[in-house]
């Protein structure tokens, strides 16, 4: 097994391993270390069954069920979230920078997307941004200020981007989380606001909240030092840490199909505020 960094601070490709086969303890420990170090791991040329996809996901924790699947009457497996973009679609999932489902009280810890069909025009890359570094580059005074703030994450805000409006009696998660959280496994601070789900900061006028959040979002979008760009190939699995990174799906392939299946892994607890003293 070989681990090749994509950039110095985020992303790595792992070759020489077949995820359809059970992992040895040595291989699993190497992958776990690489995940903590690089936050995004790419595994190309993997022919995975759904059960093998699930088995690999369960090495990181219990499988999380997307809120849209929890009460839906469907024959589809609720442990999979399908990324099925058809040639006549006008947009795709995740075009806005985000972390997955942060509107839940206990958002997922990790995501594993297995793409089997890529657009024939070569499009459909995914950008990832390192939220440890996004926090670390802030001034000490701004770090301290944001460390005392809470933000509201609203699932309906994200739904509205896709033209979805809830009907009377329907519910979609919404919760407040600290703006700076501690990573549940590494203990590092994470900037935990994102453009898709975070609607406002609590206990301040909306115009002040917008000034702060829009400034942070602009920095996340525009600072290439935070980023890596992953180009998908058929039968490729990408694993990312839903605490330490945000991502954006690039929709530059209208007229072409893209298909994949995503599993998310539950977090061990609700997001906790980071304390420098800890």
Q: Which residues are catalytic?
A: 98, 100, 247, 262
- Cα-to-chain-centroid distance, residue 196: 11
Which uninterrupted H or E stretch holds 116? Answer: strand 110-117
* Residue 207 DSSP label: H
Please, are residues 161 and 196 in contact by the beta-carbon 8 Å criterion?
yes
Q: Compute the 3-state secondary structure of the chain and give helix, strand, coil in percent, each to the nearest 5.
A: 25, 30, 50
User: Coil, strand, or helix at residue 108?
Assistant: coil
What tokens were used for 260?
A: 């994949």
Q: ∠172-176-180 over CA atoms, to 5°?
A: 135
What tokens were used for 88?
A: 């006549």
């Amino acid at each position: 097994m070989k681990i090749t960094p994509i950039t110095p601070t985020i992303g790595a490709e792992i070759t020489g391993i077949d995820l359809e086969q059970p992992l040895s303890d040595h291989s699993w420990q190497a992958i776990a270390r690489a995940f903590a170090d690089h936050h995004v791991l790419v595994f190309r040329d993997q022919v995975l069954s759904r059960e093998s996809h699930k088995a690999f996901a369960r090495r990181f924790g219990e499988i999380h069920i997307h809120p849209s699947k929890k009460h839906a009457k469907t024959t589809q497996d609720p442990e999979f979230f399908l990324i099925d973009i058809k040639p006549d679609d006008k947009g795709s999932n995740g075009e806005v920078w985000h972390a997955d489902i942060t509107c839940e009280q206990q958002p997922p810890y990790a995501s594993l997307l297995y793409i089997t069909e890529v657009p024939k025009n070569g499009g459909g890359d995914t950008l990832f941004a390192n939220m440890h570094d996004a926090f670390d580059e802030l001034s000490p005074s701004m770090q301290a200020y944001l460390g005392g703030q809470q933000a509201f994450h609203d699932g309906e805000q994200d739904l509205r981007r896709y033209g979805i409006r809830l009907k009377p009696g329907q519910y979609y998660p919404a919760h407040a989380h600290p703006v700076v959280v501690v990573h549940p496994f590494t203990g590092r601070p994470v900037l935990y606001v994102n453009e898709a789900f975070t609607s406002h900061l609590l206990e301040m006028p909306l115009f002040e909240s917008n000034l702060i959040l829009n400034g942070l979002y602009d920095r996340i979008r525009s600072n290439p030092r935070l980023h890596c760009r992953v180009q998908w190939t058929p039968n490729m699995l990408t694993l990312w840490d839903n605490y330490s990174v945000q991502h954006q799906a690039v929709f530059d392939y209208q007229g072409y199909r893209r298909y994949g299946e995503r599993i998310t892994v539950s977090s061990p607890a609700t997001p906790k505020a980071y304390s420098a003293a800890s």
